[in-house]
Structure 1
Amino acid sequence: MKFPNILDTMVNWGILGAILAPNMGGWVSAFTMRGQVKRPDGRAWYQTIKKPTWTPPAWVFGPAWTVLYSGMGYASYLVYAECGGFTDDAIVPLALYGGQLILNWTWTPVFFGMHRIGLGLLHMFVLDAAAVACTISFFNVSATSGYLMIPYLAWLSFATCLNYSIWQLNKPVNEKKVNGD
């Protein structure tokens, strides 16, 4: 007689995996920045650039992204479950989800790793469009999954404004003169 594994009856491994996957990608992306070369004064590049007064403190980003990634992951699980797994109906929404996640994870190395604020902003615009497309496709499958993406879109809007402001504040002097600033 085979006894059921108690964990299998208590834990939905699909939901857990869907929630952990985007978080793990975010952690890997953030971890790649841990070894940033610090200046002789001990500060990292991001600490030395000009930022708007409304920039959140650094400690906000970890918890915020954990909540956002978890919501996105659960939304992706709902799409997966509603479509009956990786079926034809799930291909577009889950591909859009995967694509926008990759764009999300690669923004960090562009902005923080390469110190490319302007390229980071362009990257963010593409991410914004991909996230909107993903959200619309999620809504088409399940309203709940679409609504779970709304906080993420709101945060991306905020992050795009922050990236734009940082770009404006840190433009080289010659570039500002050309643009009439």
Structure 2
Amino acid sequence: MGEYLRPACAILLPHAGGFLCGYLTHKELKTWFKKLNEPSFAPPDWVFPSATFTSYCCMGYGSYLVWRDCGGFEGGGVLPLAIYATSLALTWTHPPLLCKTKNLGLGVVSMLSVLGARVATAVMFKNVNSTAGYLMLPGLGLVGYATFLSYSRWKNNRTRRD
């Protein structure tokens, strides 16, 4: 049973923060965010939760592989896992930061920091376990797209005063 518990916990960890973000921002997402002028390439509402679910599962399992291959925190996994934790923290703070401040420019800066942290995590993970590095790719794609979408929202809504 223990052989399944650690990877399961690693996979569930990113989702826990994601659920908290959803709880903290659901009101603004249904009101303020829905009123934004979206770019033509904005996806339907169901896309991001589905893609985020997949991304979080991949990231979580990748973190488990790094933890396992480095011998836990006592081994050489401290730096890659600290960068991963930073990536998660930045990811989790983006929605409340954006929705509570209603500052789309700050949202772009926040997404750029998430993207940078995800790139660093992917590189560090790949140096430990190539599969873990590759498991970061869905999240990198998602965050890259979300960053461009965030910039486009900012550009389309610069004159808004909410």
When normalised by structure 1's length, the TM-score is: 0.84
Q: Which amino acid aligns with 2:63?
A: S
Q: Which amino acid aligns with 2:134?
A: Y
Deviation string, structure 1 residues 79-110 (Cα, Å, up to 9, x no partner)? 00000111241010000000010000000011
Which residue in 2 is equivalent to 1:33?
25
1:112 to partner: Cα distance = 2.0
1:34 to partner: Cα distance = 2.2
Q: Which amino acid aligns with 1:142?
A: N
Which residue in 1 is equivalent to 2:57?
70
Which residue in 2 is equivalent to 1:60?
47
Provide the rounded CA distance (Å) in 1 between the counterparts of 2:49 and 2:138: 15
Deviation string, structure 1 residues 130-181 (Cα, Å, up to 9, x no partner)? 11111100000000000000111111110000000000001128xxxxxxxx
When normalised by structure 2's length, the TM-score is: 0.93
Taking the TM superposition and a 5 Å limit, the aligned residue runs for 1:1-181 are 8=1, 12-36=4-28, 44-172=31-159
Provide the rounded CA distance (Å) in 2 between the counterparts of 1:106 and 1:62: 16
Structure 2 segments unaligned to the other structure (5+ residues)? none
Higher relative contact order (CA 8 A, sep 6+): 2
- Count of residue correspondences: 160
**Identity of counterpart residues, as a percentage?**
37
Higher helix share: 2
1:35 to partner: Cα distance = 3.4
Runs of 4+ off more than 6 Å? none
1:49 to partner: Cα distance = 1.0
